[in-house]
Amino acid sequence: MKNNKITPQKEDFPRWYQDVVKEAELAENSEVRGCGIVRPYGYKIWELIKEELNRMITSTGVENVYFPIFVPMENLEAEKDHIEGFAPELAVVTHGGGQELVNKLVVRPTSETAMYKTYARWIQSYKDLPLRLNQWNNVVRWEKRPRAFLRWSEFLWQEGHTVFADREGAIAEMWQMLDIYEKMYEYMALPVFKGRKSEVEKFAGAEITSTVEVMVRDGKAIQGGTSHYLGTNFSEVFDVKYLGEDGEKHFGHQNSWGFSWRSIGAVIMGHGDDNGLRLPPNIAPIQVVTVPIYKDENKAEVITYAEKIFSDIKGWRKKIDLRNNLTPGFKYNHWEARGVPVRLEIGPKEAADGTVTVFRRDINTKETVGEKDLSARLEKLMAEIHDNLYKQAKEFALAHIHRIESVDEIKDQVGFFEASWSEDPASERSLKERFSMVSRVLPADNQDKEPKNKKCFITGKEAKHDWLFAKSY
């Protein structure tokens, strides 16, 4: 059954996205332009993501902290590239406690410049390194074109900030955290393209930016998380120095890495279909919903059986939909839009036979399962749904990479373009202007390989590597 409150993906993908966010009651816009309200169903997805990602991050020895929301404007101005990158996006506090502030404060757009002066105090000797801290917080970057989860002026995320004695240690951690982000997407049944960003696309103040990019179902890219090697750019500005074993002072090598609730946007766009969300079981607020189907004459019997089945379900986040005056069809649409992985349909036939009709949301099919077998079947089914969602997304992504040798081959194809590139910043800017497309990632696998074509697909000059290009959210 078609959900007619949701625009079909093929008709208008951005509109489809908006409709799903609304229909699944994930979020809505607030009266503060660019800021969103995340409703219980959407927030629960974020809590499930956060819990797992926090577990993975802290299991590597990183500790959580909390730094203030405000950053003195002068701190932000200290690192030249950083302020240039963030200046157009700042929210500025000019008054506090009824007084005009002598020194203006900025609501953190990210916390490098809020934290590193303090790091300079905490770090004295090589024995204090590595220092590896993380915080879960809210940041503000004024958005011109807000979009739910993907681009709101305020967003929730984690930001890790670490200091190492040497470049090698820092770079190894940069990749380690990127691997964790990849694993986090696998947890959400999404494959990623993992690697390095170009000079134009890298983080303001970073020496290397690494990224995981998700291809979603209209073929565009979502930057799923980034891990930056900052070199000594910030440690030189904020005087983050340590006394080495050699008795000399050295600047620390720093990383920062972040993962936000835009990952929810990637899940919606990466898995959703014309009926709404399809959630991987790991992050589904409700994993199994039970819908009793009855008429007046068999209501008592059906509900009794459905409640027994429901109470027998162990180990899954579950819900039974006992709402009156709503048709089964309405309820099916309701839970399909919300992406609940498994629905149990229980009517008089099931009650009489001691069976359950099991609907799986990933492929929208039904099967009949005996009451006694339900527990084992659910266990297997959840794994199957996860694996199938991952496989579908992976196959889609691999099928939508177009190898091109020149910009003339860029058409309106859905997907990413792979091309041999000179890495020349000017060429990237021209690509953006002509095709609204930028480099997304130099896949880690291509880093040490010769490009397939010796000639850059834009400039005709010498190509360095094979890159992926795409339009993005």
From 97-105, 213-221, 372-380, 400-408, give the range in contact with a copy of itself by CB under 8 A: 97-105
Q: Which helix (H) or strand (E) is 357 found in, with range?
A: strand 355-360
**Residue 451 to residue 462: CA distance in whole angstroms:** 10
Considering only residues 100 to 129 of the shown chain, the ones binding a copy of itself according to CB under 8 A are 105, 107, 114, 117-118
**Residue 95 to residue 420: CA distance in whole angstroms:** 52
* Residue whose structure tokens are 């400039």: 459
**Residue 229 to residue 203: CA distance in whole angstroms:** 9
Classify residue 25 as left (phi > 0), alpha (psi -120 to 50) or beta: left
105 or 150: whose CB is closer to a copy of itself?
105
* Residue whose structure tokens are 């309200």: 37
Q: Binding-site residue total for a copy of itself (CB under 8 A)?
A: 52
Report the side by side order of strands in the sheet with 288-292: 318-320, 288-292, 342-346, 355-360, 365-370
Considering only residues 12 to 41 of the shown chain, the ones binding a copy of itself according to CB under 8 A are 28, 30-32, 35-40
* Residue whose structure tokens are 């993907």: 150
221-231 vs 253-260, strand pairing mode? antiparallel
92 belongs to the binding site for a copy of itself (CB under 8 A): yes
CB atoms within 10 A of CB 384: 16
Among residues 12, 15, 84, 96, the one that binds a copy of itself under rule CB under 8 A: 96
Instruction: Name the token pair of 57.
Output: 């991050």
64 belongs to the binding site for a copy of itself (CB under 8 A): yes
44 belongs to the binding site for a copy of itself (CB under 8 A): yes
63 belongs to the binding site for a copy of itself (CB under 8 A): yes
* Residue whose structure tokens are 């000079």: 199
Shortest Cβ 105–a copy of itself spacing (Å): 6
138 or 406: whose CB is closer to a copy of itself?
138
**Residue 106 to residue 101: CA distance in whole angstroms:** 12
156 belongs to the binding site for a copy of itself (CB under 8 A): yes
43 belongs to the binding site for a copy of itself (CB under 8 A): yes
From 142-150, 179-187, 227-235, 410-418, give the range in contact with a copy of itself by CB under 8 A: 142-150
69 belongs to the binding site for a copy of itself (CB under 8 A): yes
Among residues 10, 55, 97, 448, the one that binds a copy of itself under rule CB under 8 A: 97
Catalog residues that contact a copy of itself under the rule CB under 8 A: 28, 30-32, 35-40, 43-44, 46-47, 63-72, 75, 87-98, 105, 107, 114, 117-118, 133, 137-138, 140, 142-144, 153-154, 156
